[in-house]
Structure 1
Amino acid sequence: MFSTMTTIDGDATALSDRTAVEDLVRGFFSAFTSGPDVAARLDELRRIMIPGATVVRTCGMPVEVYDVESFIAPRLALLTGGEVTDFEEWPEPGRVEIFGDIAQWWGAYGKRWRVDGELHTGRGMKTMSFVRTAEGWRISSAAWDDERESVRRAVRASAG
């Protein structure tokens, strides 16, 4: 899932910093899984994001900017309302870059869900920015764009 890491400043703590950032990426994505404990997983976003963090959706539509609360509320309704079931979103290969007390993750993601029993899938790209706080690394922003007819991710052939 995390294919490359560049530590620009060569800090000796790079591996633990990278692990902490990767854990936040996994925590962010795991929040969007329907089923038991969805409210607790979404609530965890309040802990792993700084107050004032922003989440931005593009997806070929007018840009929508959310704060933490306005981002969580509709997702909780979607994942618990019953119309959408078996929703899952996951990170695919990405890149982590760290410099001092800032970091970023740029990577692909996939998602699937059911509506009226019919399976739907999607893919796209996300970027997340992180800052080191007194409590550790936290997400300061995230933005995503879904694939659509005019925007497609390149599919890389795996070596092997």
Structure 2
Amino acid sequence: MSADKVHIDHLVEHFFDVFTNVGGRQPNLDAIHHLCLLQAIIVKKIGNEETVYDLEGFIEPRRTILTDGTLTEFKEWEVSEETKIIGQLAQRHSAYKKSGRMNGQNFEGAGNKMFQFIKTTDGWRICSVIWEDEG
């Protein structure tokens, strides 16, 4: 496995982990700034609708629900991936699962994320994420 692939694996693992608040753990949302370009875009797809976020627009509503008791015991993890690296560009398809308690109700879900990466002078960074939950 190449050093680039190892670094990208690490980025994705940490991306999923920044939202975890299992066992009263505080999510580390500020860490996302070290994983992504400041100009990164994140897109949520639901049916025929999409919501496009800049990095701060994505983080702040999640910071609220992950720390105010709305969404507890939340974790999201990658279950499979396919990564393609060409020079200093890369993309990755990640199938994922998630679980938690939303407004006191247990839930589980799954979906797909597509990541794009660029290798900077500071190493690999996420430049975009697109996701769609299943069902």
Check whether TM > 0.5: yes
The 8 Å contact of residues 59 and 147 in structure 1, kept in 2 or not, is answered as: no
Match of 2:44 among 57, 60, 65: 57
Percent of residue pairs bearing the same amino acid type = 38
Question: What is the deviation of 1:72?
Answer: 0.5
Matched ranges for 1:4-153 at <5 A: 15-34=2-21, 35-38=24-27, 41-60=28-47, 62-148=49-135
Displacement of 1:92 in angstroms is: 1.0
> Which structure: greater strand fraction?
2
Residue 61 (structure 1) shift: 5.4
Give the drift of 1:118.
Answer: 2.7
Deviations 1:38-65 (A, max 9, x none): 1xx2101011101210000002252101
CA distance in 2, matches of 1:116, 1:73: 18
Give me the whole-angstrom Cα distance separating, in 2, the residues matched to 1:116 and 1:20.
Answer: 36
In structure 1, stretches of 5+ residues that fail to align are 1-13, 149-160
Q: Which amino acid aligns with 2:54?
A: D
What is the deviation of 1:68? 0.6
Deviation at 1:83, TM superposition (A): 2.0
Equivalent position SS for 1:58: strand
The structure that has the greater radius of gyration is 1
1:109 shift after superposition = 0.4
